[in-house]
Structure 1
Amino acid sequence: MTRLRCGGIILGFAIHHYTFDGRGASLFIKTFSAFARGDVETVPAPFFDRTLLRARSPPSISFDHSDYTPNVFQSEAPSSTLSQVVCANLKLTKEQIHSLKILAGGERVSTFRAVVAHVWKCSCIARGLASDAETQLLLPVDLRGRFKPPLPPTYIGNPTMRTKAVAKVEELVSNTLEFGANLIQRAVDNITDEFGRSLIDHLESMDLEALCKRGAMSNTSLMAISWLSVPMYDADFGWGEPILMARAQMYGSGYVYLSRVPAVDGGISVIVGLEPDSMQCFKKILYEEIEEKIL
């Protein structure tokens, strides 16, 4: 805890991803704040039964899980080390998000799909990637509602699995935003109950210590994480709602987080970590592309 001269307070949390994902962390912090206020009766009971995600016996691996191999992030051309990453917290208004949705296929396109398709496209341009290079977008998917039956809403754990969308840089950049948005939708739709169970069986036989070592991503890769459904600003420790909730640091270059902002104007934050020589161009075209398409 850090007390500021203005009277504000900063609370920092170090949470291991083995323990829970973003939604689990949010539930923990919200519960912590309720206890701090003495408002224990309103706290929903956490659900800790990890047997819901245990491997089957015998295992039944029915999908290709080659993405889940040790050093999957290692590359001959890593994007950067942590010391070479610059971060930006970029705001998109409700109107800008609406414009991106129209460009990505219409109002029914989710905010995540529309914004991430735009960020993916802009990052390829800002990084100056070769037109014939292959770019991949990594997408963690929450399986709470995809398992059959669904996991309890207060489940404490990390039921998150990774999928990816892949394209040639030229086809991603030259096509409309709808092209990238459709790639994202197809990748996410592949994550089903059976895929999740198959992956659990696959991971049971692997060396998890080696698997979980995090290397640097290639500069042709991007990982987009959605915190849009995470109740970020419900944690009142007795001082009122938070002014800001965010990560303390990025894992490295190529990570993107989408989160709500405390204001009720319908806007969101796009928190991006990129290489220093790419960030200025990225910030410029992120907004210019929207304005040009509107005009």
Structure 2
Amino acid sequence: MANIIPPSFDHNLLCGRSPPRISFHHPEYTTDPPPASAPTLVTSAFNISSGQIFFLNNQSRGGNKSTRISSFSMISGLVWKCYCISQGLAPSTQARLMFNASIHKRLCPPLPKTYFGNAVIRKFATSKVSQITSNPVAAVAEIVQTAIDGITDDFIRSFIDYLEVMKGRILRPALDLKQSELRISSISRLPASDADFGWGAPQQLSMAEATGNNVVYVLDEPGNKRGYQVYVTLDPTLMPRFKKAFYQELLSEGTEKHDYFTLQSTGNRSRI
């Protein structure tokens, strides 16, 4: 019993400051009402290996590794570029990519390892479409990585102060995305692939249903601890263009093409 460390429930660690100091723009939340009806959607799942990520990273950057780029940023860069291509957006359009990030180690001082509570923040990466569609995937990934690295203690405290100032208003996450916006979330570190109910390891992990337009989820590939499954939800008319751009990017970097399957908004799956 002496080695058991109790959880920390000190939520005062994430309280707002007095007086509040909002030093950043925080468009991740909105007071706009949700849409009246949901559009028809289709979700496709794409397998991508760690080897493909490695080749995208190294070949696109020409061996220049001055900037550390995570696997999440590489996947985000690939998906973001293909999304902008599929949408046919004007080059001057300002595109935004929303993502979630843990703030446990980004605060000064960091939150206790045993902290029990919500410690995730939303943030946008922003760039002109021309900078996304005309550059290698790794260059787009650097835009994402720069946005992630910008989640500093000052940014987080400003974000918390903003939420405190807006308390009492109908404030909700800006998840009703425009055509120029995409949201990506990674749940690849959750140990779902280790689940065993007596029949062995799961053969397939997937989202139960489409969760929103222009939404991407990154999961671990079952049976492959180093691979990923990327679930992309779009308007059905745009998915063929996304798939074409996705595999063109992979094949242009000398990587292997992987199969994908589609998940209709009704939850029915069909392999292509």
TM-score (normalised: structure 1):
0.73
Following superposition, the deviation at residue 218 of structure 1 comes to: 0.6
Higher helix proportion (structure 1 or 2): 1
Q: How many residues get paired? A: 249
Tell me, in whole angstroms, the C-alpha distance in 1 between the residues paired with 2:205 and 2:105: 25
2:56 aligns to what?
100
Following superposition, the deviation at residue 272 of structure 1 comes to: 0.8
Given the alignment of the two structures, is residue 210 of structure 1 paired with residue 170 of structure 2, yes or no?
yes
Higher strand proportion (structure 1 or 2): 2
2:26 alignment partner AA: H
1:7 aligns to what?
none
Query: 5+ unaligned residues in a row in structure 1: which ranges?
Result: 1-41
Matches within 5 A, 1:60-99: 60-71=21-32, 82-99=38-55
Q: Deviations over 1:2-60 (max 9, x none)?
A: xxxxxxxxxxxxxxxxxxxxxxxxxxxxxxxxxxxxxxxx9985543322212223323
**Percent identity between the aligned chains?**
37
- RMSD over aligned Cα atoms: 2.9
Tell me, in whole angstroms, the C-alpha distance in 1 between the residues paired with 2:199 and 2:113: 27
Q: Deviations over 1:50-74 (max 9, x none)?
A: 2221222332333333544423x97
Contact 1:84 1:275 in 2 (8 A): yes
Secondary structure in 2 matching 1:149: coil
Comparing 172-181 with 145-154, greater Cα deviation is found at 145-154
Given the alignment of the two structures, is residue 56 of structure 1 paired with residue 17 of structure 2, yes or no?
yes
Tell me, in whole angstroms, the C-alpha distance in 1 between the residues paired with 2:147 and 2:10: 29
Matches within 5 A, 1:1-295: 46-71=7-32, 82-105=38-61, 108-207=68-167, 210-212=170-172, 216-236=176-196, 240-264=200-224, 266-294=226-254
Query: 5+ unaligned residues in a row in structure 2: which ranges?
Result: 256-272
Following superposition, the deviation at residue 161 of structure 1 comes to: 1.5
Tell me, in whole angstroms, the C-alpha distance in 2 between the residues paired with 1:46 and 1:237: 28
Structure 2 CA distance for partners of 1:50 and 1:242, relative to 1, 3 Å: farther
Q: Deviations over 1:96-153 (max 9, x none)?
A: 2222222453575321111110111111111222222221111222101111222234
Secondary structure in 2 matching 1:178: helix
Tell me, in whole angstroms, the C-alpha distance in 2 between the residues paired with 1:170 and 1:192: 28
